[in-house]
Amino acid sequence: MNLHSIKLKLEQSSCPEHGKHPSVTITGKTLNMSCCCEKFKEALKKKSEKLITESIQNDISSMFKKL
């Protein structure tokens, strides 16, 4: 799983209300997001969960390709 690429993807998204980009930091294996409002933070949290799930699925499928 590549947390760094997930971080970049999250930082590319902008708040639909304020048009601002979040700042995302990686602490160990978790992502900390700071952004303009709670609503956007919620959306980012959901997005990060989705991206992490996708990333894990990619890891699994590439593992199978190597077999």
Q: Give yes or no for residue 36 binding Zn ion (CB under 5 A).
A: yes
Q: Distance between CA 55 and CA 50 in Å, rounded?
A: 9
Stretch that binds Zn ion, among 1-9, 30-38, 44-52, 57-65 (CB under 5 A): 30-38
Q: Which of 1, 15, 33, 52 binds Zn ion (CB under 5 A)?
A: 15
Q: Give yes or no for residue 17 binding Zn ion (CB under 5 A).
A: yes
The residue assigned the tokens 């894990």 is 56
Secondary structure, 3-state, 7-40: HHHHHHCCCCCCCCCCEEEEECCEEEEECCCHHH
Q: Give yes or no for residue 24 binding Zn ion (CB under 5 A).
A: no
Binding site for Zn ion (CB under 5 A): 15, 17-18, 36-37, 40
